[in-house]
Structure 1
């Protein structure tokens, strides 16, 4: 069916634009990739580019939205999981799922959370982590002293660890990284502040 093939071709073109944009971000060490250079690198005409995106910023926006939606799916499950029996060194699904999601979208994460981080993306990611911790604690009626500080440092520590692994997969494997994250957040980070019983 011609219409289906046309849609499929459009999907591949759109994906090619996004992937090439991410690769050029890493190569040029900037998120302000010239449209002309992007089109030349694929290669496609600039007219073709503008059939799919209004400007270069809209390419970045679409990638970021897809990554954020991926996190929302993963963390929705996390907020409903009981970790009361967690033991240090245990592999938790939330961290394994996140690491695999990052690995699957490696080039996009290198462009937005690697050596040239996009601070809007990092802030959005941080808000998701904080929001889901708050949701868990609300359901469990859990409170901490200096709760905002605990949440901020927990979220940023997790993102920093993921970003490190992104650039150093050869130094620490998936399973070791998963155990490290669990220990850092549940065994250490959340014990820095006193839990308040209400």
Structure 2
């Protein structure tokens, strides 16, 4: 790695480390340089200000995540297949999109952990991630033959939040204290498979609504 690239990498590393104690946009160039032991002139060789530094970090991450998704084999949506074909056509194996997300988080552990932090991270970056994740979650659901009904938007939002929650907890935990990538992916996939199963049962079981009805004493909650 060239010396300039080493310097940039060090600036990014120190900056992300400072976000553990302070919101990213409250960190000054002066504070960053003092922590790193460089002059402000050195910083300005590579970045215009803290906002430019953050933008370059985020652009690199977004570009990498999109590239990882683009490398996945193209799968044509199944469309809404007949309920009687559910057992034969539904693929319950974990989608590769889930592996892409957690491999990405692992490879950029410090940056992702800092930027997803609910207190000191960047909400705008989270919004950009939500757009990308929503696109690929909807692709999974299209491939699964799930209907584009009123529940899909809500399911997608919840599923995205689970992506973030799992990533935050996993990245901030010691390896022996939390689940493996495979175990986390299996948990998320269980929710996806459960949604597919219930959607099928809703279309095929005459007593579905009766079985899903809440007890009368819970309706007032």
Per-residue CA distance 1:138-189 (angstroms, 9 max, x = gap): 68875322132232222222222222222224321222112222223x2135
CA distance in 2, matches of 1:11, 1:101: 21
Give the stretch that moved more between structures: 108-117 or 17-26: 108-117
CA distance in 2, matches of 1:140, 1:187: 9
TM-score in terms of structure 2 length:
0.71
Per the alignment, residue 137 of structure 2 pairs with 133
CA distance in 2, matches of 1:61, 1:190: 38
Per the alignment, residue 181 of structure 2 pairs with 174
2:44 aligned with 1:53 = no
Deviation (angstroms), 1:75: 2.6
Per the alignment, residue 151 of structure 1 pairs with 156
Give the stretch that moved more between structures: 161-170 or 187-196: 187-196
CA distance in 2, matches of 1:96, 1:141: 21
Per the alignment, residue 164 of structure 1 pairs with 169
Deviation (angstroms), 1:136: 5.5
Q: How does 1:35-184 map to 2 (within 5 A)?
A: 35-78=29-72, 80-81=74-75, 85-87=90-92, 90-116=93-119, 117-135=121-139, 143-146=147-150, 147-168=152-173, 169=175, 170-184=177-191
Deviation (angstroms), 1:101: 2.0
Say whether the 8 Å CA contact 2:130–2:160 is kept in structure 1: yes
TM-score in terms of structure 1 length:
0.78
Unaligned runs of 5+ in 1: none
Q: State the Cα RMSD in Å.
A: 3.0
Per-residue CA distance 1:101-158 (angstroms, 9 max, x = gap): 2122111112101353321111111100112334566688753221322322222222
Count matched residues.
186
Runs of 4+ in structure 1 off by over 4 angstroms are 81-85, 135-142, 189-196
CA distance in 2, matches of 1:47, 1:29: 23
Say whether the 8 Å CA contact 1:34–1:56 is kept in structure 2: yes
> Aligned with 1:80: secondary structure?
coil
Per the alignment, residue 15 of structure 1 pairs with 9
Per-residue CA distance 1:51-88 (angstroms, 9 max, x = gap): 1100011111111111111221223345834796533x
